[in-house]
């Protein structure tokens, strides 16, 4: 890890992982696509492979093979760790590969039980519910975590704000209830710009880097920010199972981090404005927008949610989130389809819910598109500006907090 003194997040975003470039005579980050590296000293390589097998720590000296380590990806890992305020970070081929590695690292120690709080991202819910990796899950609400923990519990898994309801969890309280069991917080929605879960006691901070870290809808990746010891375990799992991030993806994710603070601030301001307009609209029955802010807005409509999806023109009707352009999708049909209907309902994912990832477009253009789409979903509606402003029942409904999740 780099040893520079603590700098502000905006500074870290553009400098972390790049501190050696000037000394190398470089400005842009070098992209190393090598799968293997020449070495005439196989005794030294044997020593370094033994060291990696013992702790999983990053290799000292030159790389050996791309499944062990890659210098470009390592720059992204260094930068993410600095932004999250953790000792280390480990990158994976996708967010799901990152979550799988966390589960495998714990179950390799015989700790196969997981305690988790709904809602989670649909595929995370599915991975835990299916037991595909040999784990067993107990679903609970935040207040039930302490009671759900068993001697073989290896992880507590939460998301805050959660996908897709934007429900928030008090991480400090939950971390306390976890005791010695590591708390994994999925920070994909907030990003370190809005929330640094490690400061609240989460030992493991998970990202689908596909979303805001990449930020342009063109990179699939995952990452875990954590302490050095757990990072070592994750590197060993990554080496053994092979879900490495491609170096070009590592390059693009590092580049994405540089603009993460400005993108998050700009998109959050627009999202807050759209959330307020939706809350004042009679065609909308509920709006979920997190206390900590962010670029995600979820809302429930009185009319047909599928007609809203079919009615947008500027906004892209697509799953995923965190890009520079605005996306909207129907969780019950798409992102959370793999979650059984009953479990979706338990997690607050109603059939009327739409999830919108707000991008960097002008707020007025986005509202005009939403307004038209809402009208097509609710043909009998008088439209905006007909008493919506003075209807107190339409005021922004705060996202549910820990005691009601």
Interior/surface letters 10-35, b for 16+ CB within 10 angstroms, e for the rest: eebbebbbbeeeeeeeeeebeebeee
- Residue whose C-beta lies closest to ligand PLP: 95
- Per CB under 6 A, residues contacting ligand PLP are 94-96, 121, 123-124, 159, 163, 186, 188, 208, 210-211, 220, 222
Given the residues 19, 67, 304, 397, the one annotated as active site: 67
| Residue 186 appears among annotated catalytic residues | yes
**Helices 95-107, 122-130: crossing angle, 10 deg rounding:** 30
Kindly provide the residue ranges of all beta strands, DSSP E only, lying in 95-135, ordered along the sequence: 113-117
CB of 166 to ligand PLP, least distance (A): 11
DSSP letters spanning 162-201: PTTT-----HHHHHHHHTTSPEEEE-TTTHHHH--GGGGT
Which CB, 70 or 163, lies closer to ligand PLP? Answer: 163
Given the residues 186, 281, 369, 378, the one annotated as active site: 186
CB of 10 to ligand PLP, least distance (A): 24
Given the residues 48, 112, 118, 121, the one annotated as active site: 121
Residue 316 has a CB neighbour count (10 Å cut-off) of 16
Rg, the chain, Cα only? 22
Supply φ then ψ for residue 158, to 5 degrees: -135, 160
Which CB, 78 or 163, lies closer to ligand PLP? Answer: 163
6 Cβ contact partners less than 8 Å away, ≥ 6 residues apart: none
Give the H/E segment covering residue 90. strand 88-92
Which CB, 52 or 189, lies closer to ligand PLP? Answer: 189
CB of 283 to ligand PLP, least distance (A): 27
46 Cβ contact partners less than 8 Å away, ≥ 6 residues apart: none
Which CB, 127 or 275, lies closer to ligand PLP? Answer: 127
CB of 365 to ligand PLP, least distance (A): 25
Which CB, 52 or 139, lies closer to ligand PLP? Answer: 139
Interior/surface letters 231-250, b for 16+ CB within 10 angstroms, e for the rest: bbbbbbbbbeeebbbbbebb
Which CB, 72 or 187, lies closer to ligand PLP? Answer: 187
CB of 75 to ligand PLP, least distance (A): 20
CB of 276 to ligand PLP, least distance (A): 24
Catalytic residues: 67, 121, 186, 211
């Amino acid at each position: 890890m780099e040893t520079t003194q603590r700098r502000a997040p905006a500074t870290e975003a553009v400098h972390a992982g790049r501190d050696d470039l000037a000394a190398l005579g470089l400005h842009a980050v070098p992209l190393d696509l090598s799968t293997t590296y020449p070495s005439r000293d196989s005794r030294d390589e044997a020593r370094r492979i033994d060291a990696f097998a013992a702790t999983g720590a990053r290799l000292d000296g030159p790389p050996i093979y791309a499944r062990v380590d890659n210098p470009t990806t390592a720059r992204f890992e260094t930068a993410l760790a600095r932004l999250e305020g953790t000792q280390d970070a480990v990158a994976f081929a996708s967010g799901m590969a990152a979550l799988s590695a966390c589960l495998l690292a714990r179950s390799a120690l015989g700790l196969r039980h997981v305690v988790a709080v709904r809602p989670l991202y649909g595929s995370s819910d599915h991975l835990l519910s299916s037991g595909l990796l040999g784990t067993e899950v107990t679903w609970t609400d935040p207040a039930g975590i302490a009671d759900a923990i068993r001697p073989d519990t290896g992880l507590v898994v939460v998301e805050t704000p959660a996908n897709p309801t934007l429900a928030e969890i008090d991480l400090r309280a939950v971390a306390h209830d976890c005791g010695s069991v590591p708390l994994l917080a999925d920070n994909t929605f907030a990003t370190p710009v809005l929330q640094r879960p490690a400061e609240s006691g989460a030992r493991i901070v998970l990202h689908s880097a596909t979303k805001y870290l990449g930020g342009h809808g063109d990179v699939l990746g995952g990452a875990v920010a954590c302490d050095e010891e757990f990072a070592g375990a994750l590197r060993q799992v990554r080496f053994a199972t092979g879900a490495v991030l491609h170096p070009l993806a590592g390059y693009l994710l590092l580049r994405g981090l540089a603009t993460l603070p400005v993108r998050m601030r700009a998109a959050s301001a627009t999202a807050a404005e759209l959330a307020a307009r939706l809350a004042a609209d009679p065609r909308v029955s509920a709006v979920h927008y997190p206390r900590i802010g962010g670029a995600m807005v979820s809302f429930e409509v009185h009319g047909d949610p599928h007609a809203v999806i079919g009615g947008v023109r500027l906004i892209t009707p697509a799953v995923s989130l965190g890009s520079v352009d605005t996306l909207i999708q129907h969780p019950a049909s798409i992102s959370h389809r793999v979650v059984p209907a009953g479990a979706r309902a338990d997690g607050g994912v109603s059939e009327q819910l739409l999830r919108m990832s707000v991008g960097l477009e002008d707020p007025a253009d986005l509202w005009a598109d939403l307004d038209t789409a809402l009208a097509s979903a609710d043909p009998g509606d008088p439209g905006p500006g007909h008493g919506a402003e003075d209807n107190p029942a339409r005021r922004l409904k705060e996202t549910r907090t820990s005691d009601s999740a």
